[in-house]
Structure 1
Amino acid sequence: MEHPVDQPPKISKCQAAVKTLKVAGMTNRSAQLFGIYANISAWGHEHIKPDAYSATIMQVSNESRRPTFPSLYNDNKLHFFAQWTTDRDWRTGCYNMDCPGFVPFRNTRADMPIPGMVVDAVSSYGGADSSMVLQIVKDGRPGVGNGDWWLYRVSGPVRFPLGHWPAALFTSLSRHATVAAWYGAVGFPPRARDEPLPAMGSGRGPGEGYARAAYLADIRLMDDMANPVDASMAYVMPLANAEGCYKVAMEDTNGPPYTFFYGGPVSHAC
């Protein structure tokens, strides 16, 4: 497809450097999806190397985020980020507002997150529990959302628009998505066998639960009128490709909405 602006998309230097991606989370496949929702716990990592990252991601796609990302931000702090692409190889798209694509809401409140900003309120092991409720939704309401993909921060019954990705950026995603995913991720370039991999989530395994393990809580999908829909466990499946290092576990519950814990420590095992 043609990019809807004259400038070529900018690919970050870390996208070019990262060759290996390890994930742990959940995914939901459906014929049509119009959005995704979750309460995301916030954890920082002080010792991520400049060529690696550790992130928590919620995404919609038609394929079968809050990161600690040193080479993108030149620090080891937790950042709120937005990201888009039209291909799996990152020939298009970018993070935050490094290229035309994500359009920030013009009247966002001063206390609302902006893509790329530092998140100061983070959780601590056995102590403070800091989280943020986010929603991505294809808002098809006439005269309201215009079919664009909107990013909201949710606080109780109120949702605050942070910005949108115009539908014109995408091909099949301009109509709907088919895959929703909530997961932790670490990325890194090829490493020596004895070089450790980054921590994911809180740096602890999911079995430690609240106040110790990272979580994605109250995971939901959205319908075509921007209303929340509980995800059916018949279609929610684990998403993990390095279970020796990074694990995921669903909270024991009688029904939706669902919560899961994920993560793992710095490791030499994978």
Structure 2
Amino acid sequence: MKLIYTTIPVEVCQYALVNRKVNHLLIYVYLKHISSGHIKYDSSLYGAWAVDLGLNGKTVRSCVKWLIKKKWITVNNKIQSLRIIGYKQLCKKLKFKSQSAVRYEPEDFLNFKDFCCASVVIYYLLKKRFVDRKRWSGSKMGDSSTSHYSYPKGYYTLPVSYLAKCLGVSFSTANNYKKRAEKASLITVKKNQPYFYDEKGNKLTNRHLMIYRYQYPEENIGRLRKGKKYLKKVEADFIKPEFSTMRKHFK
């Protein structure tokens, strides 16, 4: 199979994940990949498609049936062909507005769900970074300790709770998306556990835990952790995307 790429709207990846239609989107993308938008309607090809995609024939048949029902694919019975609609038409059908997209250039299609997971994680990571920076730069009385927070180069934070809210899924589901993306090496994750310091700049040790809890009862104590020697506060992980989103005007 020749190695070419397609540019997929991020909202379509999100739709597939949230609605458990990843295999359906995979087949849609695959058919666009191996054709010019039209392909012979021959159910005997399902077996070959299944092998390429690492699926079973029954799954392929069921997904194609769903794609036809939802009109992601239309059938020309007269010439026995399938027409795979374009991304612009698909986004209009699903009432999507965003022009953010991701470039998908597979050697095979076996990691497609991982790619979809990474796409939504990276999209909301970059979106949050943009919004945060805009808010910091626009604030005349911004908190310098926040607006000048130092992140490792290429990294930013994305709380799983934030991702879950954006996607409308549970915390555990959003966390699974993040873990899949990390395992596939599509994002790099570093733990973010900052130390606590006293007024002289010295790290607070574990023996200061009870004192800290007494002096700062309003703090989220649930995030406090004892390290090997020093107190730490568990924050959202640092995440570095291994690919980026782009703006795309689909035709």
Instruction: Report the TM-score when normalising by structure 1.
Output: 0.25
Q: Normalising to structure 2: TM-score of the pair? A: 0.26
Structure with greater contact order relative to length (CA < 8 Å, sep ≥ 6) = 1
| Greater share of helix | 2
